[in-house]
A and B are shown apart, each in its own frame.
Chain A
């Protein structure tokens, strides 16, 4: 137990994460927590979902346990398994069980990537039963009021085989995330990317330009994350055109014509 508490401690966020609210997402999430409701965050990549969860956990003073889902993630990976320690079989809680036991927040990132059979444990936790069967130990854990489950996914172009099932989807309070509006995004880039107001404004302007190219063949425009990374390269002394090329343009596309056009935008803005 002591060991587990220690494990949990690591997930406690003590320093206030920087998060700029873009709407009423904080109030909604707090209300959801108060009522024991699960959260579904949807939005494009790099728009602040993970950061939001960190902020929420800090605000609620609860540990945040994040699991990045992948196609090999099984229920045991979430719930836990027996391990052998010096000849003894020792039960080790998986991240989900850990969170349930201690009333923490469990955040399943990119939920659609997880194996379908994980829904078996997610469903009963995400509805009003709020319980987790730990089959191996014959336990049925009831989640304490503080426990919260939250999942994220990116509803962009993706394989039809990976869509979220309605029965899963309809258990959650859904928050739709998008890139913050220009003023806020500028403030974020300014702070996180350590650049001047002027550069931040220009980076955001560029991002908006790339995001309007959906119909010209660019499915996803530059994310806030890319802007911040560009800013970081800049503040480490890389010159603006090189930084934009490496951190903003090249990650977006391989199409030479689009890359050319993006490059022209950069050279127009800076």
Chain B
């Protein structure tokens, strides 16, 4: 390609940016001697890299000719993909370094002659382990591998072997073993028990030794379990990993047999264990009957036999795929979960208490009030006794009734609450009184509040200039707080920038494809039968009509088929979360998706509006206009779209109610509200947790009642339990990688309305 042509194409690609001529010349000149294909490859990637970083783009062009001596053109996109990942996670330096220095290493990886990085393997490993575990576990990077039971930490690269597949297998093995510890209960069943385990190790002269022995015993249990559960994996591991580890293995003490037993077949395992365990214990282990308590008991016995002067570090080791036990992280993760579930429990309980009649509730709280001579209820005033007898036995007898007593009065739990309490009990071994007494406290407070607001009902929200009032759902009292929120409508200030153009360039291919797809949807033609006039004879109708006439009935005159274009007649509002948690990539992806959506909608012809929402506190919910339903997609709209920026909090309820309000007066065959958010509804005041979830849920139900279909697209690291409850099972979709949003959103819209 001629240098002038190259330069011209380059300027077009980066327009309206005007890059420095010197820079451009310097990087593009070397391409004059290169083949057409290489020039195209180079230019083809400019729109991807340029918007991310200009200097990275120059670096890319500068390094590409040299890189292509080792890389094939097909390998370039992946190379760039990793560079951009690095840029986003570790910054420009890291990305540049990777491009310059790490090419050899990267190639080595591609050839399989080096380690396998998690950045490549992770995309498959995450769904793999989630499937295996039937649980939404996470994967994170750490030098040593371990798990806190919610996240599995693995090294960022595996170089166990020269072979890429074996390295991948090694990752699988690590992840699966860590999951094995979780399901085999190696950390014991509750945070408190885990803490006991910590104390148990601390009680030994060498806690490290005790812990290593315990971990090896547990690994044997996990191995036996996995032989049963995932025989395919164990067979592959035997062939590619265990056999190699056996070759390299050095026995350092009699106890090494425990470690060695993990990587041998069944018969050898039995033989090895016989060297250390008595025959009962050995049989329990090899048949999968042993429990963590057996491991603890044996650990204790083995440690007793060890003489003080021995160097305990040298007695028994572990393999890297076993990782390490970091019990404190398990305790922390368990505590967090306990706290979350506990709050949920106390909320549920408070709701239940409030549903009791006032008399019953008053009775439950009476005594204490008497004691305090009329004082307002405080949490500590209510004594809450969970019947300890039943709490203790619930484990063995899951059907045993659960008794909760407040002030010596038993209260019946509704089935939902009882089920939840039992799950809690099973997981944590106890029902802490604090959660239940806090429930009673909440209920008491709310009851008082209800009384107060009941008498001063005319509480006016501050005079807003043209603010609109909306009710808010308070699940604790199962009723609305009247005119609780004030919503202000504003218009975003148009900002001129090249954002829209860059987006269209970046997704050039996708935009073309989308236009085509949406065009197909628009011209969704189909034949309508039995018409009075039309392009063709409806043969079925004709036969029927003749038959009718023969039967003495008047034959129908609707005998034609007509090709009809389907009236789509759909109106949709896109609601964009503008809370400050959407900074950076999320905001960018949200806007990019809106740009692509708008392009597609223009082709399709569905009526659509775009609004943003944010705000702080119930007195200032803000609703930002980008595009009204009937407004055309002109420059001003584009500029307002560009100016969507993260602002304050996410109070979803009022925004959805307002959107419902707008759509309610619109006449269309189908009306939709599509909300785009990055997670939980949350405001600065007490609009959080279950309250916020329940209010949002209610706002969505109100929309449904008004015959409007709400659908939510949530971008988050992981799917949350509450989503299904809040949105309803089929009314939301969750996207874990924000970069997929621009591609997914039009797909979703298509599926929703085809």
CB pair A89–B236 under 8 Å, yes or no, is no
Q: Could you tell me if A158 and B131 are in contact, using CB atoms closer than 8 angstroms?
A: no
Say yes or no for B102: interface residue by CB 8 A criterion: no
Closest chain-B Cβ to A153's Cβ sits at a distance in Å of 12
B56-97 CB contact bits vs A (8 Å, 1 = yes)?
000000000000000000000000000000000000000000
Complex CA gap A267/B230 in Å reads: 9
**Distance to closest chain A CB from B727 (angstroms):** 12
**Nearest CB on B from A252, distance (A):** 11
Given A209-B131, A216-B127, A264-B124, check contact A81 B547 (CB 8 Å): yes
C-alpha gap A209/B229 in the complex (Å):
12
A30 lies within 8 A of chain B by Cβ: no
How many Å from the CB of A84 to the closest CB on chain B? Answer: 5
Q: 1/0 per residue A187-228: CB within 8 Å of B?
A: 000000000000000000100111111111110000000000
Q: B670 near A161 (CB under 8 angstroms)?
A: yes
Contacts of A88 in B (CB 8 A): 550
Decide: B236 and A161 in contact? CB cutoff 8 A.
Answer: no
Partner of A216, one of B126, B547, B551, B754: B126
B543 touches A83 (CB 8 A): yes
Known: A160-B752, A260-B124. A268 touches B672 (CB 8 A): no
Say whether B132 contacts A213, CB under 8 Å: no
Residues of B within 8 A of A24 (CB): none
A72 → chain B closest CB, angstroms: 8
CA distance A156 to B529 in the complex (A): 30
| Cβ–Cβ contact B131 & A89, under 8 A | no
Chain A neighbourhood of B730, CB < 8 A: 155-158
Residue numbers in B under 8 Å from A76 (CB-CB): 544
Per-residue A-contact encoding for B719-752, CB less than 8 Å = 1, 0 else: 1000000000110011010000000000000011
Known contacts A215-B736, A267-B232, A270-B232; is-contact A160 B132 (Cβ 8 Å): no
Residues of B within 8 A of A90 (CB): 547
Q: Measured between alpha carbons, how far is A138 from B176 in the docked complex, in Å?
A: 69
CA distance A269 to B236 in the complex (A): 11
Is B128 on the interface with A (CB-CB < 8 A)?
yes
Q: In this assembly, does A16 line the interface, its C-beta being within 8 Å of a C-beta of chain B? A: no
In angstroms, how far is the closest chain A Cβ from the Cβ of B549? 8
Alpha-carbon distance between A27 and B643 when the two chains are bound, in angstroms: 60
User: What is the CA–CA distance of A224 and B546 in the complex, to the nearest angstrom?
Assistant: 48
**A18 at interface, CB cutoff 8 A:** no
> Could you tell me if A82 and B135 are in contact, using CB atoms closer than 8 angstroms?
no
Partner of A136, one of B135, B550, B553, B719: B553
Q: Contact at A268–B132, with CB atoms within 8 Å?
A: yes
Contact A157 B131 (CB under 8 A): no
* In the bound complex, CA of A150 to CA of B225 (Å): 45
B371 adjacent to chain A (CB < 8 Å): no
Contact mask for chain B residues 562-601; partner A; CB cutoff 8 A; 1 contact, 0 none: 0000000000000000000000000000000000000000
Taking CB atoms, residues of chain B closer than 8 Å to A89 are 546-551
User: How many whole Å from B683's CB to the nearest CB in chain A?
Assistant: 26
Contact of A266 among B124, B135, B232 (CB under 8 A): B232
Q: Which residues of A contact B126 (CB under 8 A)?
A: 216, 261
Partner of A212, one of B131, B232, B550, B736: B131
Please tell me which one of the listed residues B231, B543, B669 contacts residue A84 in the complex, with CB atoms under 8 A apart.
Answer: B543
Q: A265 in the interface, Cβ–Cβ < 8 Å?
A: yes
A215-B555 Cα distance, complex, nearest whole Å: 56
For residue B308, CB closer than 8 A to chain A, the reply is: no
A267: contacting residue among B127, B233, B544, B672, CB under 8 A: B233
Residues A216 and B736 in contact, CB atoms below 8 Å apart: yes
How many angstroms between the C-alpha atoms of A136 and B551 in the bound complex?
10
CB distance from B149 to the nearest CB of A (A): 17
Whether the pair B134, A208 counts as a contact (CB closer than 8 A) is yes
Residue from the list A217, A218, A265 in contact with B128, Cβ < 8 A: A265
Interchain CB contact under 8 A, A257 and B123: yes
How many interface residues does B have (CB within 8 Å)? 47
* B734: nearest chain-A partner, CB-CB: A215
Whether A261 pairs with B124 at a CB distance below 8 angstroms is: yes
A268-B551 in contact (CB<8A):
no
Query: Does residue A262 face the partner (Cβ distance < 8 Å to B)?
Result: yes
Main secondary structure of the interface of B (DSSP, over half): helix
Within 8 A of B (CB), among A219-270: 257-258, 260-262, 264-270
> In the assembled complex, which residues on chain B have CB atoms less than 8 Å from the CB atom of A267?
232-233, 236
**Residue contact A268 to B232, C-beta cutoff 8 Å:** yes
CB contacts (< 8 Å) of B123 on chain A: these are 257, 260
In the complex the two chains form, is B230's CB within 8 Å of A269's CB? yes
- With a cutoff of 8 Å between Cβ atoms, the chain A residues found around residue B172 in the complex are 264, 268
The count of A-to-B residue pairs whose CB atoms sit within 8 angstroms is 122
In Å, the complex CA distance between A90 and B547 comes to 7
A262 close to B131 (CB less than 8 A): yes
**Interface residue from A82, A159, A258, A264 paired with B752 (Cβ < 8 Å):** A159
User: Whose C-beta in chain A lies nearest to the C-beta of B737?
Assistant: A217
Which of B131, B135, B236 is close to A210, meaning CB atoms less than 8 Å apart?
A: B131
- A159→B232 CA distance, assembly (Å): 40
A19 lies within 8 A of chain B by Cβ: no
Beta-carbon contact of B548 and A136 below 8 Å: yes
- State whether the Cβ of B20 lies closer than 8 Å to any Cβ in chain A: no
CA distance A269 to B231 in the complex (A): 6
Q: In the bound complex, what is the Cα–Cα distance between A211 and B132 (angstroms)?
A: 11
Bound Cα distance A237, B387 (Å): 59
Complex: chain A residue closest to B552, CB-CB: A89
Instruction: Point out the residue from B544, B734, B736 that lies within 8 Å of A82, measured CB to CB.
Output: B544
The distance in angstroms between the C-alpha atoms of A170 and B296, with both chains bound, is: 58
* Interchain CB contact (< 8 A) of A213 among B127, B549, B711, B752: B127
**Which one, A82, A157, A217, A261, contacts B550 given CB within 8 A?**
A82
- B176/A268 in contact, CB under 8 A: yes
A160-B670, A208-B134, A209-B134 given; A264·B547 CB < 8 A: no
Q: How long is the Cα–Cα vector from A265 to B730 in the complex, in angstroms?
A: 26
**Binary flags per residue of A62-100, CB closer than 8 Å to B gives 1, else 0:** 000000000010101000011110011111000000000
The distance in angstroms between the C-alpha atoms of A269 and B172, with both chains bound, is: 12
Q: B670 contacts A215, CB within 8 Å? A: no
Q: Within the complex, which residue of B127, B543, B549, B734 is in contact with A258, where a contact is CB–CB below 8 Å?
A: B127
In the complex, what residues of A have CB within 8 A of residue B33's CB?
none
Indicate whether B130 reaches chain A with its CB closer than 8 angstroms: yes
**Residue B5 at the chain A interface, CB threshold 8 Å:** no
Known A76-B544, A160-B753, A268-B232: A91·B132 in contact at CB below 8 Å: no
Chain B residue with minimal CB distance to A157? B730
Contacts of A264 in B (CB 8 A): 124, 128, 172
Query: Chain A contacts of B368 at CB under 8 A?
Result: none
A74: shortest Cβ distance to chain B, in Å? 8
Cβ of B381 under 8 Å from chain A: no
Q: What A residues does B734 contact at CB under 8 A? A: 215
What residue in chain B is nearest A258 (Cβ atoms)? B127
Contacts of A218 in B (CB 8 A): 127
Complex interface: chain B residues within 8 A of A261 (CB): 124-128, 131
> How long is the Cα–Cα vector from A190 to B709 in the complex, in angstroms?
42
Q: Is B410 engaged at the interface, CB distance under 8 Å to the other chain?
A: no
Tell whether B105 is near chain A: CB-to-CB under 8 Å.
no
State whether the Cβ of B136 lies closer than 8 Å to any Cβ in chain A. yes
Report A15-33 CB contacts with B as 1/0, cut-off 8 Å. 0000000000000000000
> Within 8 Å CB of B232, what residues of A?
266-270
Closest to B549 in A: A89
Give 18 A-B pairs besides A83-B543, A210-B131, A260-B124 with Cβ atoms closer than 8 angstroms: A82-B544, A82-B548, A84-B543, A89-B547, A157-B730, A157-B733, A157-B751, A158-B730, A160-B711, A161-B670, A213-B130, A215-B719, A216-B736, A260-B123, A261-B127, A265-B132, A266-B232, A267-B232
Q: Which residues of B contact A (CB under 8 A)?
A: 123-128, 130-136, 172, 176, 229-233, 236, 529, 543-544, 546-551, 553, 669-670, 672, 709, 711, 718-719, 729-730, 733-734, 736, 751-754
Could you name 6 residue pairs across A and B whose Cβ atoms are closer than 8 Å? A82-B544, A136-B553, A158-B730, A160-B752, A260-B123, A268-B176
8 smallest CB-CB distances across A and B, nearest first, come from: A82-B547, A215-B719, A89-B550, A268-B233, A209-B131, A261-B127, A89-B547, A89-B551
